[in-house]
């Protein structure tokens, strides 16, 4: 067994440059310091080395420094870090569902449902802020990810803003919605919570097999789903792929067949 293998077994590793245990890494960054005349350049490189040292690189070498405009300098630094990685202490955040690529989402829906998954989305109450629901639903999407409309196996009905709960329930029934997505941005007098409870109550009362209820907005507590009567709450920064993956997790589990 190689030395690297042995160290791995113990559970302690260092970065690998070209020799086991050499701890060599590369780093690039910008400092807001000028890189003009000779003394400025010397000071800039010194500043970069100081940062590298504080980041645990010793020895460190500035291999590239370049002024960008009058006020900034870009650096590329190579060096050895003294830190070790203890693999036994690595923690992995558990997520209740895996985030899947679009093709996988489509495949799972096809094999589990044998038809398109129907999503009805809306901003309810007086809330006119459709930024959230549109970021999740529109093809345009959000954060470099296409919205749910982009998924071939998802049919999206976007009802827009200021939708009444009764209209939402009726539309969800008419479309045979598998899931209802509701976005709430306005939080005055806890309007988002009141609206959500109302909406959930209407769905619980109006259906034998109600659609999955998903709520999103920047001010929700993601842990409050049960309290509000919904199945899932998404917070700020949620991407369309996460939502699609959750829908598949809840409605089209792996291995299920129609």
Partner 1 sequence: MSGKLDLDPALVAQARELARRAGQPVTDLARTHTTVSVERAMLRLAGLDGADEDGMPWVNRLTDAVRESSGLEHGAALPVWDAIRCGGYPDLRTLAVDATAGLVKFRLPAGHEAEAARDAAARSVEKGISLIDGRRAERDRMIAATSDPPNPWIYLIVATGDIYEDIPQAQAAAREGADVIAVIRSTGQSLLDYVPEGATREGYAGTYATRENFRLMRAALDDVSRELGRYVRLTNYASGLCMPEIASLAGLERLDMMLNDCMYGIIFRDINPVRTFIDQRFSRQVHARAGIVINTGEDNYLTTADAVDAAHTVVVSQLLNEYFGREAGLADAQLGLGHAFEINPEVPDSFLLELAHAQLIRELFPDAPLKYMPPTKHMTGNVFAGYLLDAFFNLAGVMTDQSILLIGMMTEGIHTPFLSDRDLALENVRYVRRAAGRLGGSFRPEPDGFVAQRARQVLAEAIDLLRTIGSQGLLNAIAEGTFGVTKRPADGGRGLDGVVERADGYYNPAAEMLELAGGRGGSSPRGGTAEVRS
Q: What angle do CA 16, 17, 18 make, to 5 degrees?
A: 105
From CA 86, how far away is CA 216, in angstroms rounded? 37
Q: Is 104 exposed, middle or buried, given 0-12, 13-18 or 19+ CB atoms closer than 10 A? A: middle
Q: Give catalytic status of residue 140 as yes or no.
A: yes
CB of 201 to partner 1, least distance (A): 29
Q: Is 41 in the site for partner 1 (CB under 8 A)?
A: no
Closest to partner 1 by CB, 149 vs 231, is 149
Provide CB contacts within 8 A for 131, sequence distance 6+. Answer: 185
- Considering only residues 44 to 63 of the shown chain, the ones binding partner 1 according to CB under 8 A are none
Instruction: Note whether 26 binds partner 1 by CB under 8 A.
Output: no
Active-site pick, 6, 54, 140, 232: 140
**CB contact at 8 A, 206 and 217:** no
Using CB under 8 A as the binding rule, whether residue 234 contacts partner 1 is answered as no
Cα→Cα distances 143→163, 178, 235, 240, 241, Å: 26, 25, 14, 9, 10
Closer to partner 1 at the Cβ: 129 or 197? 129
> Which region among 44-52, 68-76, 103-111, 117-125 touches partner 1 (by CB under 8 A)?
68-76
Distance CA 232, CA 213 (A): 7
Is 140 an interacting residue with respect to partner 1 (CB under 8 A)? yes
> Pick from 14, 108, 142, 249: which binds partner 1 (CB under 8 A)?
142
Handedness of CA 8, 12, 15, 21 (dihedral sign): negative
The nearest distance, CB 65 to partner 1, in angstroms, is 12
Are 196 and 216 within 8 A, CB to CB? Answer: no
- Out of 106, 130, 184, 196, the only residue in the binding site for partner 1 (CB under 8 A) is 130
Number of residues binding to partner 1, judged by CB under 8 A:
24
CA-closest candidate to residue 119, choices 193, 164, 171: 171
Q: Is 78 in the site for partner 1 (CB under 8 A)?
A: no
Contact with partner 1 (CB under 8 A): which of 149, 153, 178, 242?
149
Residue 144 sits in the site that holds partner 1 (CB under 8 A): yes
Site for partner 1 in 99-118 (CB under 8 A): none
CB 214 within 8 A of CB 234: yes
Contact by Cβ (8 Å): 121, 156: yes
Binding site for partner 1 (CB under 8 A): 28-30, 66, 68-69, 72, 74, 130-131, 134-135, 138-140, 142-144, 146, 149-150, 152, 158, 160
Q: Which residues are part of the catalytic machinery?
A: 140
């Amino acid at each position: 067994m190689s030395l690297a293998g042995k160290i791995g077994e113990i559970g302690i590793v260092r970065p690998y440059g070209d020799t086991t245990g050499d701890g060599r890494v590369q780093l690039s960054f910008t400092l807001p310091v000028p890189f003009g005349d000779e003394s400025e350049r010397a000071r800039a490189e010194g500043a970069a080395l100081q940062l590298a040292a504080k980041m645990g690189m010793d020895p460190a070498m500035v291999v590239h420094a370049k002024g960008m405009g009058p006020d900034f300098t870009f650096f590329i630094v190579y060096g050895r870090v003294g830190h070790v990685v203890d693999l036994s202490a690595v923690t992995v955040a558990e997520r209740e569902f895996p985030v899947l690529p679009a093709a996988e989402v489509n495949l799972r829906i096809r094999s589990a449902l044998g038809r398109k998954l129907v999503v009805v989305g809306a901003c309810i109450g007086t809330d006119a802020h459709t930024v959230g629901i549109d970021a999740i639903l529109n093809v345009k999407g959000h954060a470099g990810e296409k919205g749910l409309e982009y998924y071939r196996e998802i049919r999206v009905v976007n009802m827009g803003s200021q939708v009444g709960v009764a209209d939402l329930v009726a539309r969800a029934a008419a479309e045979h919605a598998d899931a209802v997505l509701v976005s709430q941005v306005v939080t005055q007098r806890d309007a988002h919570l009141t609206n959500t409870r109302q909406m959930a109550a209407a769905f619980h009362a109006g259906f034998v097999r109600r659609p999955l209820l998903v709520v999103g907005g920047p001010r929700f507590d993601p842990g409050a789903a049960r309290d509000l009567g919904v199945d899932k709450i998404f917070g700020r920064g949620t991407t369309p792929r996460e939502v699609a993956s959750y829908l598949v997790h809840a409605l089209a589990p792996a291995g299920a067949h129609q």
